[in-house]
Structure 1
């Protein structure tokens, strides 16, 4: 993979990993034009995005880690752990069953469209609820399930699935739902990356262009940091409607491309 492709894919991963528009879907689409990428490459650019969001939330993570003597912090960490364990258990089951992501455009396109419609309806319903920032145990359970649903169906978007299920299940405040979804994503994605790296190590990996991998990692980290900071500021006074419309339009374009390809 040449340097330009690495930069492009790093940018795509960085922008789409935490915006509710599906990183997996966009990267699968990019493959059709930029060529197949290795599993190790996927892991590396995803690790860059995880590092970025960890940096964004480092103060919150620090306060939770060193504030466990406070009941509210213990409860919040417990809910994060529950959501993570649910995702991990269901993810291992999916692996054991031999599940593989689809590599054609049509499933991604439909997931983008259906997910966009779901976002519009979910935000409309959430807006009718009182503004709640509390994360309940039910929210934690449903967010854990939503993460694996997003992992199984590319185009769904982990961030979209988790944010909106949290909003509908009781955490109607956009900022609070987004924070919980992103904080759950940190251990989930670190664990998934470590699992995939272990698998690569066991099989001996392959011939990689380490320079290109390094560039993609750096680009993904920087881009994701900017994207997350922008999103957190954006949702203070804006709904997710623009992302939903983008998903629907992009999905329709992909269906057209697939039809005439």
Structure 2
């Protein structure tokens, strides 16, 4: 892989990780048409790690607050103001557990980068986003209940499939189950932290297989690009969520799915 190709893939990861259009799906499609089908999945995960840095920067106050509350809970010095954050931490743990179970079940499907399957998943994500923009629960809550957390975790578990947007599926599930718009985006990206770290640790054993396909300079260029582009994409998406514009991405994903199906068909003619 050349440095230019790595930068291109990093830019795609940075945009697609946060905009609800599926980073894994777009990376797989890009790798397919760039002739980089032998790139190990840990390269994609390392690009996810780079965009995780953007999450930590944007939500550093919330992350630090939750870690502080968790620390007080561990040493049994919880205060009254910690109750809401403890419920949030419990919800994140439940969502992560559900995601983990589904991730293990669908591991083989996740690693299969079939462009036709991805194209269909693009269209499914688009339909889900369109519906989430039309249905508005009568009551909303700032912190997910345990049931909401399980549903959002299941959505993230399904979101590991290439072509299904992780952020799109979790934010849509949060909105449809009655989580506040502002909290829905925050919860989705906080939830991505343990998911991405777990995926990295799980695939770490295959790190040695990457050296033949991706050199250190290309990897560094790709990760730096993913971080910078991802930071701006995350800030942009949070504004769109607050304005209730998440469904707009359906008008990209459905035609994109049709385009990929057509392009793959022509590619094989």
Q: CA deviation at 1:103?
A: 2.5
Aligned residues: 254
Gaps of 5+ in 2: 71-77
RMSD of aligned residue pairs (Cα, Å): 1.8
Q: CA deviation at 1:132?
A: 3.5
Gaps of 5+ in 1: none
Map Cα deviations across residues 142-192 of structure 1 (whole Å, 9 max, x no partner): 1111111111x3111111111111111221x22211111111111111111
State the partner residue of 1:17.
17
State the partner residue of 2:117.
107
Conserved in 2, the CA contact under 8 Å of 1:138 and 1:169? no
Runs of 4+ in 1 over 4 A off after TM superposition: none
- Which residues of 2 match residues 1-261 of structure 1 at below 5 A? 1-36=1-36, 37-68=39-70, 69=78, 70-95=82-107, 98-125=108-135, 127-151=136-160, 153-171=161-179, 173-197=180-204, 199-201=205-207, 206-207=211-212, 208-261=214-267
Q: CA deviation at 1:131?
A: 4.2
Which whole-Å CA distance do the structure 1 matches of 2:99 and 2:158 have between them?
Answer: 9
Map Cα deviations across residues 167-223 of structure 1 (whole Å, 9 max, x no partner): 11221x2221111111111111111112111x215x665434101111111111111
TM-score by length of 2: 0.88
Map Cα deviations across residues 47-76 of structure 1 (whole Å, 9 max, x no partner): 101121122111100111113431111111
Q: Decide which moves more: 76-85 or 228-237.
A: 228-237
Conserved in 1, the CA contact under 8 Å of 2:132 and 2:247? no
Give the 3 Å change call, closer, same or farther, for CA 100–137 of structure 1 in structure 2.
closer
Give the 3 Å change call, closer, same or farther, for CA 88–205 of structure 1 in structure 2.
same
Conserved in 1, the CA contact under 8 Å of 2:185 and 2:241? no
